[in-house]
């Protein structure tokens, strides 16, 4: 029961799925929401795969149109919540101020020039990576698994950050999610990774699973070191920036891989 409640809370908080029921969010709920982040990523991936499969199979949509759909649907489905964090974190980082001033900048609801420029570069680059990957990936099964794995790994990243990186301040949404988490809570994330690995092996996609695991670990290490150096820890905005960052890096790796195969 608590598992399903936490999943619906994640849908209510991190997506635009209309969950009308009011549900209590206390320390226990925050903990279980983090534990079920991999399930949230799987949900986003399945929705993305379902929409792509329908358009690919039952319409005459071009590769460009299919790429646009893959690019825009996660933004719409999440309500842009992670992109908002990415822009705020970019504004703070490129202000070249001290830590406290950067944290104050992230609290400002207004978006500055650095945030706008950063998100334009991020999204335009990601669209290029997606388009070229769609164009050069021949296996429909492989591409289907990729569509599910990318949001899955980005939510794995989100859970790992909340568990392993201390909060920059004892306030804010990131702090409320993380304050009662322990390293043992990562066992749920590791369990999800193991199950995903078994599924990838059975479907013949263990190479991409292993590749995404390594890349996500590298991006997490960068997020860990840079969050501490630049901001003194994590907060909701740096988490959102990391989610967007790891998804873009995974698509970039696929882009490089697509060209190396030709």
- pLDDT in tens for each of the 262 residues of the chain? 777 888 888 998 899 988 877 777 777 888 888 999 999 999 999 999 999 999 998 999 999 999 999 999 999 999 999 999 999 999 888 887 888 888 888 887 788 888 899 999 999 999 999 999 998 887 788 899 999 999 999 999 999 999 999 998 887 778 888 888 888 888 999 999 999 999 999 988 899 999 999 999 999 999 999 999 988 899 989 999 999 999 999 999 999 887 765 5
CA distances from 102 to 41, 93, 166, 171, 240 (A): 29, 7, 17, 15, 16
Note the pLDDT of residue 98.
81
Note the pLDDT of residue 157.
94
| Structural domain contains residue 227 | yes
Task: Please give the residue range of the domain that contains residue 44.
Answer: 40-260
| Structural domain contains residue 109 | yes
| Structural domain contains residue 171 | yes
| Structural domain contains residue 3 | no
Note the pLDDT of residue 156.
95
CB 242 within 8 A of CB 223: yes
Contact residues for 217 (Cβ-Cβ < 8 A; gap 6+) = none
| Structural domain contains residue 35 | no
Note the pLDDT of residue 30.
86
Note the pLDDT of residue 261.
57
C-alpha 161/C-alpha 179 separation (Å) is 12
Q: How many domains does the chain have?
A: 1
Note the pLDDT of residue 262.
54
Is residue 217 helix, strand or coil? helix
C-alpha 85/C-alpha 237 separation (Å) is 4
Note the pLDDT of residue 195.
94
| Structural domain contains residue 1 | no
| Structural domain contains residue 249 | yes
Which residues does residue 167 pair with via DSSP β-bridges, in sequence order?
234
């Amino acid at each position: 029961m608590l598992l399903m409640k936490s999943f619906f809370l994640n849908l209510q908080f991190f997506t635009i799925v209309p969950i009308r029921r009011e549900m209590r969010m206390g320390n226990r709920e925050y903990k279980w929401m983090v534990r079920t982040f991999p399930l949230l990523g799987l949900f986003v991936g399945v929705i993305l795969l379902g929409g792509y499969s329908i358009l690919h199979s039952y319409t005459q949509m071009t590769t460009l149109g299919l790429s646009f759909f893959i690019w825009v649907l996660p933004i719409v489905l999440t309500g842009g919540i992670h992109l908002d964090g990415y822009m705020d974190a970019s504004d703070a980082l490129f202000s070249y101020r001290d830590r406290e001033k950067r944290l104050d900048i992230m609290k400002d609801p207004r978006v500055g020039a650095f945030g706008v420029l950063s998100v334009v570069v991020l999204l335009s680059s990601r669209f290029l990576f997606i388009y070229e990957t769609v164009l050069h990936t021949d296996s429909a099964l492989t591409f289907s698994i990729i569509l599910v794995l990318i949001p899955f790994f980005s939510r794995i990243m989100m859970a790992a950050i909340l568990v392993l990186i201390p909060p920059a301040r004892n306030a804010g949404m990131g702090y409320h999610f993380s304050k009662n988490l322990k390293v043992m809570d990562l066992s749920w994330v590791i369990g999800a990774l193991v199950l995903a690995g078994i599924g990838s092996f059975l479907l013949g996609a263990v190479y991409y699973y292993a590749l995404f695991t390594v890349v996500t670990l590298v991006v997490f290490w960068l997020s860990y070191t840079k969050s501490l150096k630049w901001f003194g820890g994590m907060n909701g905005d740096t988490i959102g920036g990391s989610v967007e960052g790891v998804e873009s890096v995974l698509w970039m790796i696929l882009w490089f891989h697509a060209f190396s195969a030709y």
